[in-house]
Amino acid sequence: QQQVKQSPQSLIVQKGGIPIINCAYENTAFDYFPWYQQFPGKGPALLIAIRPDVSEKKEGRFTISFNKSAKQFSLHIMDSQPGDSATYFCAAGPDNFNKFYFGSGTKLNVKP
Amino acid sequence: EPEVTQTPSHQVTQMGQEVILRCVPISNHLYFYWYRQILGQKVEFLVSFYNNEISEKSEIFDDQFSVERPDGSNFTLKIRSTKLEDSAMYFCASSEAIGDLGDYGYTFGSGTRLTVV
């Protein structure tokens, strides 16, 4: 059973565009929803995270939208830059951080 | 910025051999994890470790796997008898705190690519 489903698998946008990556989760007990950015040859790096008591969180150009009733959350990257080209993973898990379930990843390519 | 350090970056081993993957978590972190990523696939949880014992482990983490914190700085993952399907990138991660103590998340290392031949 896939605990976290992520789409799309890949995404190409022009510089300045707003790529949107979507995730859906199964388990209503999940309390913490981080997004990770991964460059080739590197480990995932925490980008931004949200808890279900808020519907939106912004950090710089990155925004998470969260819909608790639909069990969905999404990442928006404002004014995307070529340097944002990376693989993005959503994850979900309990607030004790004991175990995260990761989505399958979205490979983003931002063209100059 | 503090980093999680993993060694070696790449290890090739014969099927059936034992391997030890090493990690040095960030010094003030208390919670330690191993995840793996088979090439092109999603990141999968293996095990979490706190206070010198396993907090949780996945179904992947069978009797062939073990973890240890042999001293105050290292955190190791041992695979006793490697199989071809153990070939993956193994990531160590650490966390300063959990839950509503803050938005700490994990810090991942750069990974060890394990190739079993």
**CA proximity to B75, closest of B9, B6, B11:** B6
* B60–A contact, CB cutoff 8 A: no
Q: Is the pLDDT of residue B42 over 90?
A: no
Which of B55, B100, B106 shows the shortest C-beta gap to A46?
B106
User: For position B104, what pLDDT does the model report?
Assistant: 60
Name the domain count of chain A: 1
| Identity of the residue numbered A57 | K
User: Within its chain, how far is the Cα of A24 from the centroid?
Assistant: 10
User: For position A13, what pLDDT does the model report?
Assistant: 97
Summarised one tens digit per residue, pLDDT across range A50-83 is 988 899 999 999 999 999 999 999 999 999 999 9
User: Distance from B86 to chain A by nearest Cα, in Å?
Assistant: 18
- Which residue range forms the structural domain that includes residue A44? 4-111
User: For position B64, what pLDDT does the model report?
Assistant: 95
Average pLDDT of A17-35? 94
d(CA B60, CA A102): 15
Q: Which domains does chain B have, with CATH numbers?
A: 5-116 (2.60.40.10)
* B43–A contact, CB cutoff 8 A: yes
Whichever domain contains A72, its CATH number is 2.60.40.10
